Structure 1
Amino acid sequence: MLKRLFFPVIIFAILFVFQPVESKPQSIQKPFPNSKFDTIDGIRIHYRIWNEDVGQPTRKILFIHGFAGSTFCFRYLYDTLETLGYKIVAIDLPGAGYSDRTLDFNQSHSSRARFLWKFLSALEPEDTTGWRIVGHSMGGGAAEAMAIMEPEHTDKLVLIAGTIFRKSNNMTGTVGFMIRQKKIKKFMVAYVDRNVITYKRFSRMLKSAYKRKPDSSEVLGYLTPLEIVGATKPVAPTDFPHVIYRHSCYRGYPSPLLQP
């Protein structure tokens, strides 16, 4: 029993050691030359399009970023696919990137999938050509849900290190319940804002991923949208538990809560 409680106790300890720190409000009107904005279900969404005016594109492809991501994440793929004749759409999910920060949106995979299909229908109301849907990390769950929801409009499903959770396990369910508590969520958001969303931390993470030292434009590409006020609050109850779980496993600390 004590072993089962060890990991949640550690999380509580981390949460309450750090006091809340609010990010400074920012407003970025046009982060990229091809940035566009639309309003779906009252939520202002940021997205980008390549080959928008191509009459008959070779294929259509939608990019869905992961946790702490944005349209910036797929930057090395856009030019090649554009040259190949693809019509490319990349979107910042509600609460992420340069889209609205809202606490009213349901951040479940199925809710994100419904929202994205509604967005694509508004973008191309008369085009029934199937989409190639690419989901990275946490975006993989939304991509999978989209393919299941509307298979007739899905040409292919591509998961890049996709995180697929059909049902919350004991670990993610317990942590998710904890984070949904108002005071705990407040401290968790403060911890992430102070200790994760920093130039130094992102520089380290990118160095580990790239196997080289990232330049400032690469670090700021990820960091800038996360510094917008309220960036971490919308996804705290849904995505944080999976991030904590994966982090604990990568560090070699499988939670005893996963055991029967």
Structure 2
Amino acid sequence: MTPSEDDFSAEQGKGDTLSESLSLAEAERIAEALVFASAEPVSENFLAERLPAGADVRAIMLRLTDIYAPRGVNLVRSGDRWAFRTAADLSFVIRKDDSEAKKLSRAALEVLAIIAYHQPVTRAEIEEIRGVQTSKGTLDVLMEAGWVRFRGRRRTPGRPVTLGTTPDFLDHFGLEELRDLPGLEELRGAGLLSGRIPPGFHIPVPSAGNDDLTEDEDPITQLDLEELGLLTPGGEAEE
């Protein structure tokens, strides 16, 4: 019996579907390997450059997220970057390294919170919110931790430097984006806001976390970096 054209088309369709399924599975394996092998969270641009042409990176990563959701290691997103992390409910079984960084001082925590919720923000604006001066040492601690960075220059007299958080800040605190920062009710429920809250008190809604400069910010130049002590004259980074 000679196969009909319909039979041939059906078999060809099955073959195409199987090929697409294998391609998707291979793309998932590649993405999984790239994230697993990296010591730092991996950006979606990095993945897109190494996955088969036309691969839907976000869809692939979300599928892998579902696969790892019930396991001891989860795939988590911070901004546009992905990393494997110990499941939150199993963190208690992981022995902490003896060299774990010391806890931040109250001043450093206050400054970090202000930067996270109000960014882009200048040092003068931080001091206005806190009501006290902010030492350079406090900012240095946050920058050495990799959680705070210089963003740009504010287009106001004196052109003060603006500060913002980094992708490492999101990763360390398990946030996908800045909008995941806790609001007033969440902070109160966690016991972080105790006592009587002043009338009119509110928690600002953080920005979406876009790295693009705002309309009143200018990019930081090499001369700015030298002035800030991040580069030595001539363009060499300080040790």
TM-score bracket, normalised by the shorter chain, equals under 0.3
Task: Point out which structure has higher relative CO (alpha carbons under 8 A, 6+ apart).
Answer: 1
Q: What's the TM-score once normalised by structure 1's chain length?
A: 0.26
* Structure with max Cα Rg: 2
